[in-house]
Chains A and B, each alone.
Chain A
Amino acid sequence: DEDGRRPHARSFTQHKANIWMNKEGPKRKKNRKRSKKRTPLIGTCTSSNPGEIIGEPPQRPTLVSSEVEALQVESPKSAELGNCLRQSKVTSPRKGPSQKPLCNTGSQKTEPLLSGLHVTQPKHTEIASGDPSKTALKVASSNGPVSTLFTLNVEQTQQRASKIKSSKTANTESMKITQSKIRTSESETQPQVLLEGKTKLKQVNKKSPQKTSSSSELNVAQGCKLPFIPVSELLVADTHSSSIPAVNVENTHSKPNVKEKNTSSVTEETHMPNLPPMQFELNTVIMSEAKNKLDHLCNLLDSIVIEHSGKEGYSTNTVIPVLVDQTAKGTSEVAVIPSKFESLPGTVSECQGEKTKEDIEHERKARKEAKAMKKKGGDKSKSENDKQENFNCIKVEKKKAVQQGKPLVVSAVTEEKLPRGKQEPSGSSVPSQGTSQESTTAKSKADLKRERREKQEAQRQAKMIAKAKEVEKQTKGQEQVHLSNDKAKPAPKKKKSAGEGAKRSRDRRIPLLGHLPLHFSQLPIYPVNCDDIHPAVRTLGLKMRDRIVDGSTARVVSTLAALKRFINDYRTPESCDLSRDLAEKLLPNVAFLNACRPHAIAMDNAIRFLKHKVNSIEASMPEAQAKDELRTAIDDYLQENINLASSTIASHAASLIDDGDVILTFGYSAVLIEVVEAVCKGGSNISVVVVDSPHPSSGVSMVKKLSSMSVTTYYRLITDVTHIMHKVTKVVVEAEAVMMNGAIQGICGTAGLALAAATHDTPFIVLCHTYKFCNNDLTDSLVINELGDADSIVSCPSREYFGLLDNWRETQNLNVVSLVYDVTPACLVTALVTEQSVLPTSAVPVIIRRNYADILGQD
């Protein structure tokens, strides 16, 4: 049950976390520090990456240690860090190779996950150095596939932690802090998965790593010993659980120690990747042999990661998929990375011992093989998903053409490359940091440490004050911000723009809405050859992204239909539970849909229902029967909750409408058409005013349908609704979702309509299927919402103003927001028409409790 409701709850907590983090100035700093600390470790493990360290192998140890402790700049190399662009380079190559150890034990399939994981890391660093709203970016991005990664991470971290503990270091206490933190984050987000993960982990551990490649990729990744990842993951986990500043402070102090411990324990266990500074020289000698090759490799990785980091600017969720995609495509450059993954089965032994020349040679060989394999794989994938890809390309092209600022993109070999390249300079927000670091180069480590801490403290305080002021301002003008984002925005924005203007212009994160995933003009490209995602789901995802399938009901129907096809084609692997495996395989599909367009609440409910059904299938049930059961369950769900319910709602609503009524409605609503039909059938003569918003002008089709039924119809824009409201006798709209507190989530504009209706004392009737009821409380439309295409609202069709705002992204203090939903408070709703009966909004919790107790879980 918990599993069933988890996705939603998780996203919600994340939203909350976002908001929290937005408010928390000092936190961010911590993140930054950590993220930087992370890099050296990764660097050490790869050590062979010459990208940034060219020519200075002997200085590396010092560099690393300094970085580990406090990231100041002693070595000339680290001076380079001052440049953010460089920095991203620095981190990126390290990260690339750093996947090696993981992959050695894992199977090929871990690759997408792991690579995704790594891609998120540069993001974190950026976030940390960026403005507060950007922290949200990361969390928001972890909504989809990343969230799974997160579990994985936490798991790993725990392992790690236990290892460290076992190594009997004095710093167990600090470790405990981190552990407890991790645990809190676990318990908040996904306790059950963790449990599952653990159990699976045990299973996997029993098997030999080579064999595990068959079924559960994720598990393999967990099962393999991940010596260095844990530390970096610790950091990730920290960012999540960072809501406790006090703890964080301790944590930062303890960090260096922990790391030392890590290194020692690592040597003991001969997992090697994060080599301690002491051993570094030895390593560099060894690595120098592989250097030439790795040079090339790292350069390539540089470019890739830079591209990706640049990409965040406009699509957060896409980041993971993209990298995966690249690797999967097997473009000549990228193929190098995967090679390491693929060498796993053969080279598992490698990780067990110190790296020797033999090992390296071994590795090289394996890599070559892998390259060859990759090429093959890439070809295959291409042929398989040729059509899909073409489609993607076309879509991407189209969208990009629309989106100014990236017109060249399409001409590039891969779609993503250019925009990313373009955004390279975006990283330049860090220079100030860099210079400050340089100024301190002469000082000793300890001094630096202390100084830095002081500086941080001061900065934190300054930020706190600034934040407090800002919050004050925001609360003052909250109402305004709420209603007219554009007006209220400049106030908070100016403050931030002082420091990070350049970054913001690229990012276009909107204050207060930073937690919402940005509108995707680009497809979240999952690996084309990835079998995780069923073609039907893929097609649907594209359709939803392009708003071909729009409206919550349509989306629910098509989602369930697609998932039904997925279940149809599903085969249970041997030695696997259907319910368990299917639930797991369902996740990437659902995540894909979410990445294409954030789920509507109704979709979440439907998917939760399906998951619940899947989970409740008994292990003893034969596959055919189980699948049959699921299919009929889906059919029943659609029939009961949508088809039958719609007609019942129509008859209920028709009873509320009298002869001669003037009905006002908003946008397109299939149920409302049924209502009007029912009313007309009853012999009443009514007229309908269709109010429409200009952007998705769905009301046009509504008008067409109504006039074909020979109903007197008026068409208005929502801007002049007050003109006609006094003539209207009833306002009838359809809800996207109904919250536990009776608030109505509707298409943006509904709340305004409700206010207008209340002003004129016109009854405001809401039509809603009960499956759209949601056990969340919403009081404003900021917490749960979706960002629409902001470009669509600035593209003014009139000649006079055409294209005036096309380059709004470059304007410093201008934010263009297009929200998809808004929330109407319960007190503005006169009656809620559901298939059960006509209800007041206060009945919502009762209905939720009664109808969905089994799905919604214990809480």
Chain B
Amino acid sequence: MKAYISTFLKQIESDDDMSPAIAAMKALMESLRQDDSTTLQEFIEKMKDAREALSDTDVSVVSVSSGCELFMRFITLKHLELEQAADFASCREILLRRGEDFIKSMEENRKKILRSSNTLIKDGMTILTHSRSRNVLAVMTEAAKQGRQFDVFVTESQPDCSGCRMADELKAAGIPCIVILDSAVGYVMERVTAVMLGAEGVCENGGILNKIGSCTVATLAHLKNKPVYVMVESYKFIRTIPLNNSSLPKKYLHRASVLKSDRDLKSAHPLVDYTPPQNLTLLYTDLGVLPTSAVTEHLIKLYT
């Protein structure tokens, strides 16, 4: 296993607050520092390999791949400037500098989300959230710090029970919360004022890829006319439009280890589902508060 991958995994394990995408970017920076290629082309090829290797680990593939893609896009942007560099050493200097800048700005993203969702949580609200999302946790903690009184329902979120972890962390922040069964979402929905979700990826049409069960929650909320807010960083925007859940690529649905094993995928539980944009109300991102239809514009801006 290459060095940057081990640092990547270590980072994810050690810093729970770090998004895998950021960790992946840092790993890419690591490999960039250790890189010994002599031409830009060679370098780009190597980085591609590194990205694939990172996606091959047992992490959330969606955000890692989108984050890496954006990272690469950003640092190799404006080929001209790179080509004008005297040799590859100076070229690498430019790339490194850009990479640092980019990661720094990406780490600021959560603060921006906090700012944009500042007034989202009001006193007396009952919020339903699904699984564990760092952004949702940060927003809720921030609101609690500001002295707002609200209740939270957290789904248990099988198979990894990440909801229980979320509940613990919320309680630690002094927010009253109740863990409910995944199958009890319909039961509590009528008592809920808003649903808050994180996302592993945002599709071009504004739909989200998130922990399995999000689609159920969002659909039920939509059915009961409850607003569904998604807290997500813009580096999770990906350029795909899933037609429906069954058209999601396999690498998004299962861990790499599952895909590599010869298990029958039909019986393997998918880890991610796709929530169509019709069921979402607003996206709170570092770019601002966006309706689902605005995602495509930002993506087009980013990638063309």
Interface of A toward B, CB cutoff 8 Å: 656, 658, 730, 761, 763, 765, 827, 830-831, 836-840, 842-843, 846-847, 850
Contact residues in A for B304 (Cβ distance below 8 Å): 836, 850
A838→B207 CA distance, assembly (Å): 14
Partner of B244 from A763, A836, A837, A842 at Cβ < 8 Å: A763
Min CB–CB distance B217 → chain A (angstroms): 19
- Let me know if A840 and B247 touch, CB within 8 A: no
Contact residues in A for B293 (Cβ distance below 8 Å): 840, 842
- In the assembled complex, B300 has its CB within 8 A of some CB on chain A: yes
- Let me know if B300 and A840 touch, CB within 8 A: no
Contact residues in A for B244 (Cβ distance below 8 Å): 761, 763, 830
Given contacts A843-B296, A843-B300, 7 further A-B contacts (CB under 8 A): A761-B244, A765-B243, A830-B241, A831-B243, A842-B294, A842-B295, A843-B204
- In the assembled complex, B206 has its CB within 8 A of some CB on chain A: yes
A409→B240 CA distance, assembly (Å): 60
A847→B239 CA distance, assembly (Å): 15
Chain B, range 241-282, C-beta contacts under 8 Å to A = 241, 243-244, 247, 277-278
- Let me know if A840 and B243 touch, CB within 8 A: no
7 inter-chain pairs at a CB distance below 8 angstroms, sorted by A residue, are: A656-B243, A658-B247, A838-B241, A840-B206, A840-B241, A840-B277, A850-B304
Partner of B296 from A656, A730, A830, A840 at Cβ < 8 Å: A840
Contact residues in A for B206 (Cβ distance below 8 Å): 840, 842
| Chain B CB within 10 Å, residue with most, of A658, A761, A763, A765 | A763
Min CB–CB distance B249 → chain A (angstroms): 11
- In the assembled complex, B297 has its CB within 8 A of some CB on chain A: yes
Contact residues in A for B292 (Cβ distance below 8 Å): 842
A846→B296 CA distance, assembly (Å): 8
- In the assembled complex, B60 has its CB within 8 A of some CB on chain A: no
- In the assembled complex, B205 has its CB within 8 A of some CB on chain A: yes
Contact residues in B for A839 (Cβ distance below 8 Å): 204, 241, 296
- Let me know if A656 and B204 touch, CB within 8 A: no
A656→B240 CA distance, assembly (Å): 10
A847→B300 CA distance, assembly (Å): 9
Q: Mark B82-120, 1 if CB is under 8 A from A, else 0.
A: 000000000000000000000000000000000000000
- Let me know if B243 and A843 touch, CB within 8 A: no
Q: Mark B133-162, 1 if CB is under 8 A from A, else 0.
A: 000000000000000000000000000000
| Chain A CB within 10 Å, residue with most, of B239, B240, B294, B296 | B296
| Chain B CB within 10 Å, residue with most, of A730, A827, A830, A850 | A830
Closest Cβ neighbor of B303 among chain A residues = A837
Contact residues in A for B241 (Cβ distance below 8 Å): 830-831, 838-840
Min CB–CB distance B125 → chain A (angstroms): 29
A858→B304 CA distance, assembly (Å): 22
Min CB–CB distance A569 → chain B (angstroms): 40
Supposing A837-B239, A840-B241 touch, asked if A656 and B294 sit within 8 A by C-beta, the answer is no
Min CB–CB distance A541 → chain B (angstroms): 38
- Let me know if A842 and B243 touch, CB within 8 A: no
Min CB–CB distance B300 → chain A (angstroms): 5
Closest Cβ neighbor of A761 among chain B residues = B244
Supposing A842-B296, A843-B297, A846-B297 touch, asked if A763 and B204 sit within 8 A by C-beta, the answer is no
Contact residues in B for A842 (Cβ distance below 8 Å): 205-206, 292-297
Closest Cβ neighbor of B294 among chain A residues = A842
Min CB–CB distance A855 → chain B (angstroms): 18
Contact residues in B for A840 (Cβ distance below 8 Å): 204-206, 241, 277, 293, 296
- Let me know if A831 and B205 touch, CB within 8 A: yes
- Let me know if A827 and B296 touch, CB within 8 A: no
- Let me know if B243 and A730 touch, CB within 8 A: yes
Q: Mark B208-220, 1 if CB is under 8 A from A, else 0.
A: 0000000000000
Min CB–CB distance A77 → chain B (angstroms): 66
A765→B244 CA distance, assembly (Å): 12
Min CB–CB distance A729 → chain B (angstroms): 9
Contact residues in A for B294 (Cβ distance below 8 Å): 842
Contact residues in B for A847 (Cβ distance below 8 Å): 300
Min CB–CB distance B303 → chain A (angstroms): 9
| Chain A CB within 10 Å, residue with most, of B205, B294, B304 | B205
Min CB–CB distance A315 → chain B (angstroms): 43
Chain B, range 285-304, C-beta contacts under 8 Å to A = 292-297, 300, 304
Contact residues in A for B247 (Cβ distance below 8 Å): 656, 658, 763
A70→B293 CA distance, assembly (Å): 58
Min CB–CB distance A548 → chain B (angstroms): 37
- Let me know if A763 and B243 touch, CB within 8 A: yes
Min CB–CB distance B212 → chain A (angstroms): 19
| Chain A CB within 10 Å, residue with most, of B206, B292, B293 | B293
